[in-house]
Amino acid sequence: MITKSQGEEVAELLASPHSGHGCRVEGRFSQFWMKNISNALSIVVQTLCVASISVSLTQLIWWFLRRQPFTVAELDQLFSLPGRLPTLRLVLSKSSWRILPIIFISTLIPVYTLVSILAPNALEVGPASPKTQTLTVPTIFYGRDPLEQGWAYPQIPAICFYQLTSNFERILGSSMRLDKLVGWNAPLGCESGCNYTLEYSGPALRCSSMDTEGILYNNASSPSRPLSLLWISENQEGVYNATTEVVNSDADIAVSWRKYSIGGELIFGSVICSLFNTTQRSTVSFFNNTGVISPSIISYNERFDGRFTDQIYSECSERQTSGMTPMHSYYVSYSTIMTWVINQLQGTISFSDYNGWQWSIDSDIMSTGIFVINETVATFSPRDDDVKTALEQILVNATIALISSGTETTEVNATVMQDYLVWVYDARKLWMTYTIALVLTFVCGAVGLACIVKNGEVRDLAFLEIVRATRNVELDGVFGENDTGNTAVLQYMVERKDEQNLRGFVLVKSGFEPKRGLLVY
């Protein structure tokens, strides 16, 4: 006979190897025998727990038999436990409260089937864990000659004046649209998906708001030193103006605008921007060859100094002979990019009444998507109220576009998704199931042990035990000519006689209808 302590201890010992098996096979290719071992271990743990609880249930039944009288019908159900039908009959009986502990443990035994169902679920088939790999990805180095990188050429070689190639002008034009970021394809080794972070140096505008009181100009009153003019008169309404002739400031460009509608409220805005060398970071994610690139500026470093650029231009002939240094290439590249940006931003837009009210657009700013114009109803407004951030994002997006179409590469550590299935082990699921099962087994075991101590012996429900308990001539009358098995009340007694313990059921009452029977047929 498996005792309570033996079953519980073996179950506890097998729970740890089951956890160890899960840890050992985690990450391995899916093979059926690994799951079968997990299933077998959980079944063994379940069986041992049930065996331990069954022993406790038996001791508890004998504890009640020693202390309460029962009808023969009731004894029949008790000796049939932990059968499901006898348990159900006891649960539905009117006096089930008398033996609630017995009913609870007997009901608990079938529930242990869940152990062999839930515990194996800790080991499931899933995608392999991502791995860290070194990938070669596109990047950009502004410190190299833009001619060598293929995105600009010297339009005026004598002064190192470079201009974007027509192909890259088209690419950067696409990057100016705020709703579209020009990206690149997934690098080799990233077919299943990957994530990585790319850092690089690049140009960016740094803008700040300026006092809007100094941007309007009309015949009656005008600012003494305006930074950017919006002409207001009877037959002209200026709504946009961007200029590099920034008065009383060393900024590279000033941009002013007004939110305009006929008869609407006058809302003005203005910013000044300067070019900086920045450290930028792009968080890149690919899944099914679809990329998501999120660029941002980590830090603003030194300001782009136009005076140094003049020196670069003056030394250009010498550099054509000896080659460009990284510093020269850096300034030439930034100058080329900044020239292109200024060409997109500068100019004016106004609503004029010379030959009927109409829009006068002398700027490429509308191609950027920063502002929205409706010529039919005569409205002009920023697409987003945060124009400052939109201007700062122009060069950030432009650098991404140059990376996508350039030839420069670098190596980064990437988290790469794996395209095969492996076993995935969840220790929390396993130990949640086993902890509940083992705690209940321990509690029931403690109850069984207490019953053994009180009873003074270990009993079971074997046929031999029942025969010993029913060796009494008094019981012959219960099943005589008038069968009173359903109403006769028996009591299990232990009597000391001739230095021996005589044990067995004795007839307490015969042939009456019990008032407190567990079962009434």
Q: Among 322, 321, 325, which Cα is nearest to 333's? A: 325
Q: Do residues 394 and 428 share a domain?
A: no
pLDDT at 2: 44
pLDDT at 300: 93
* Neighbour tally for 12: CB within 10 Å: 16
Number of independent structural domains in the chain:
2
Confirm whether 426 is domain-assigned. yes
Q: Which residue has the tokens 């830090």?
A: 299
Confirm whether 133 is domain-assigned. no
Q: Do residues 235 and 259 share a domain?
A: yes
Give per-10-residue mean pLDDT for the chain (521 aa).
48 53 50 71 89 90 85 80 84 82 91 89 82 92 75 68 76 70 84 92 90 65 63 78 81 87 76 92 89 92 70 59 67 82 89 74 86 83 88 89 85 90 83 91 92 82 68 62 60 61 66 40 26
Is the CB of residue 291 less than 8 Å from the CB of residue 184?
Answer: yes
Enter the pTM of the model: 0.63
Confirm whether 307 is domain-assigned. yes
pLDDT at 388: 92
Q: Are strands 216-217 and 230-233 parallel, antiparallel or unpaired?
A: parallel
The amino acid present at 377, given as its one-letter code, is: V
Structure tokens at 276: 């900086």
Q: Do residues 119 and 162 share a domain?
A: no
H or E element at residue 168: helix 166-175
Q: Do residues 396 and 426 share a domain?
A: no
Q: Do residues 222 and 369 share a domain?
A: yes
Q: Do residues 32 and 165 share a domain?
A: no
CA distance 399 to 376: 36
Q: Do residues 259 and 375 share a domain?
A: yes
- Residue 87 belongs to what domain range? 4-126+422-461
- CA–CA distance from 495 to each of 249, 438, 492, 503, 506 (Å)? 113, 38, 10, 6, 11
Q: Do residues 222 and 152 share a domain?
A: yes
**DSSP track, 64-82:** HHHHS-EEHHHHHHHHTTT
Whether the bond between 82 and the residue before it is cis, its omega within 30 degrees of 0, is yes
Q: Do residues 300 and 203 share a domain?
A: yes
Q: Do residues 87 and 164 share a domain?
A: no
Confirm whether 150 is domain-assigned. yes
**DSSP track, 71-121:** EHHHHHHHHTTT-HHHHHHHHHSTTGGGGHHHHHHHHHHHHTHHHHHHGGG
Q: Do residues 208 and 291 share a domain?
A: yes
pLDDT at 410: 93
Q: Do residues 391 and 244 share a domain?
A: yes
- CA–CA distance from 343 to each of 154, 200, 232, 337 (Å)? 18, 25, 24, 10
* Neighbour tally for 446: CB within 10 Å: 12
pLDDT at 516: 43
* Neighbour tally for 393: CB within 10 Å: 21
Q: Collapse the DSSP code of 249 into the 3-class scheme (helix H, G, I; strand E, B; otherwise coil) and give the result.
A: coil
